[in-house]
Each structure stands twice: as C-alpha cells, then as structure tokens.
C-alpha cells in the first residue's frame, strides 16, 4: 500500500512542480484572483449589497471554473500525447490508475492554492461585519469539490485528443451542459415532453443546483456523493482511455 501511494505521490510531485516551472502557474493565479475579485466587488456589487456574506464571491465560481478548470486540465494528457511523452509515461513502473490519480491530484491541489489565495476576501468581510463563517467554510470546501469535478471531466476529455485547444473547447462545452441542466428554462423544456423522473434526473446532474445549496449552508450527503461520484467516474474513464493508448 505504501509503495502504491509513494508512486502516486511521485507523479503528483512531478506534475505539481511542472506548473511552477513555467509561467502558467503565475498567469493562472493572477487571472483567477483578478477575475474572482472583479466579479465579487464589481459585478457582484459586494459593497452595495451591504450584507456580511460572500454570496457575491461564490455565486460566480461555477462560471469561473467553467473556463479556468479546462485551462488547467487541458494539458494533463493532450500535451503528453502531442509531445510523445505519453509513451514514456506508460512504460514507467506505475499503474494507469497511479498516473491518472497523480496527475489529477496535482491539478486539484493547484486549484486549492488558488482558492487559499482568495482568503483576504474572507478576512475583509469579517472586518466589515459578522458573517456566518461556518457557511463560508462550507462554501470554500464545496467550491473545491466542484473544481475537482470540472478537473476530472477535463482530464478525461484531454485524453481523447493531442490538441489542447480542442480539449479546452470540449471540456468547456461539457461543463456548460452540466451547469445549464439546473436552469428552469432547460427543465421547463424537458418537463413539457418527458416524465417527471427524467426532469428530476437532469436537475440532479447540475453542478449549479448542488453548489447553490452549498452556498446556503446546506451541505447534504447527496451533494457530497454527487461530486465525489463525478470525480471517480471521470477518473475511471480516464484510466480506461490510457489503457487503450497503452494497448495501441
């Protein structure tokens, strides 16, 4: 077991260091902080709302992650396939699962670093008022879980192509579908021709619906199971795709 975890950690460490060996990490972190702050204080009208909470901050996360998570995850496998290093990776004395999980965890931890760097916004709202910090903490955790689901989806789709741009586009489109599944406009259109259980199933697949409940401080088991299941499913498919590549 220790040997298995050690090899996964080696892959994780390689990938995480890879982000910081290039300007990619700095650029992404700056863009993420600029966009999240701008959306919070300007589009979200943080000061005009005159409320001690971070609704104006977290409400934009699904839309930020829709673009920024594919930007992080598109290189996980597409770049390996383009450069030919995937052939070297799959000959290493590690399993496909270790490769996939290690790469995914590196990108997920990198996202956690980006979220931690937004903590001054949390400090600001505590300075200005008395927010419910329990809800904010849950929202941060829920945001990280949602980011993980976006990343796992992107990693899976990245394994289908050598082109990072294509990986980015198909990942963004797929994420958009999973967000829009919770909109009343979509559900109303589906409800007009389908049984109620189909409508409920589509609604339950929406990232936005689950994250909206988290923002209200409602972090139930179904939400946790949804995001964890989405991550596990996408990573499992990712492993199968790498296995197909190994068999070629």
pLDDT at 11 exceeding the cut of 80 = yes
Q: Whose CA is closest to 43, among 29, 61, 56, 26? A: 56
Say what the pLDDT of residue 172 is: 92
pLDDT at residue 237 in the model: 92
Tell me what pLDDT residue 248 has.
59
**Which of the four pLDDT bands, split at 50, 70 and 90, describes residue 165?**
confident
State whether residue 211 is helix, strand or coil: helix
Query: Is the predicted pLDDT of residue 18 greater than 60, yes or no?
Result: yes
Look up residue 96 and give its DSSP letter.
Answer: H
| pLDDT for position 87 | 63
Per-residue pLDDT at 185 exceeds 80: no
Q: Output the pLDDT for position 84.
A: 64
pLDDT number for residue 114: 93
In 176-206, which positions are buried (b, 16+ CB within 10 angstroms) versus exposed (e)? eebbebbeeebbeeebeeeeeeebeebbeeb
Distance separating alpha carbons of residues 17 and 207, to the nearest angstrom: 30
pTM score, whole prediction: 0.88
Mean pLDDT of the chain: 84
Mean pLDDT of 42-60: 81
Q: Which of 124-133, 160-169, 227-236 has the highest mean pLDDT?
A: 227-236
Query: Tell me, what's the pLDDT at 83?
Result: 65
């Amino acid at each position: 077991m220790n040997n298995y975890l050690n090899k996964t950690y080696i892959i994780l460490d390689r990938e995480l260091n890879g982000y910081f060996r290039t300007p990619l990490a700095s650029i992404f972190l700056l863009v993420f902080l600029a966009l999240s702050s701008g959306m919070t204080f300007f589009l979200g009208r943080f000061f005009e709302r005159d409320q001690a909470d971070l609704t104006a901050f977290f409400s934009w996360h699904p839309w930020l992650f829709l673009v920024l998570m594919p930007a992080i995850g598109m290189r996980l496998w597409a770049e390996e396939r383009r450069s030919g290093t995937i052939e070297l990776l799959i000959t290493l004395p590690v399993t496909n699962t270790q490769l996939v999980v290690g790469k995914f965890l590196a990108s997920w931890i990198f996202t956690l670093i980006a979220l931690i760097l937004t903590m001054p916004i949390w400090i600001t709202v505590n300075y200005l008022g008395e927010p419910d910090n329990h809800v904010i903490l849950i929202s941060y955790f829920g945001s990280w879980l949602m980011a993980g689901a976006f990343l796992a989806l992107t990693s899976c789709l990245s394994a289908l192509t050598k082109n990072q741009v294509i990986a980015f586009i198909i990942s963004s489109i797929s994420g958009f579908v999973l967000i829009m599944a919770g909109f009343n406009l979509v559900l109303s259109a589906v409800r007009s021709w389908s049984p109620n259980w189909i409508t409920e199933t589509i609604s339950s697949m929406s990232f936005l619906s689950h994250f909206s409940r988290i923002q209200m401080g409602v972090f139930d088991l179904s939400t946790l199971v949804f995001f964890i299941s989405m991550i596990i499913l996408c990573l499992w498919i990712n492993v199968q795709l790498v296995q197909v590549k190994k068999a070629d």
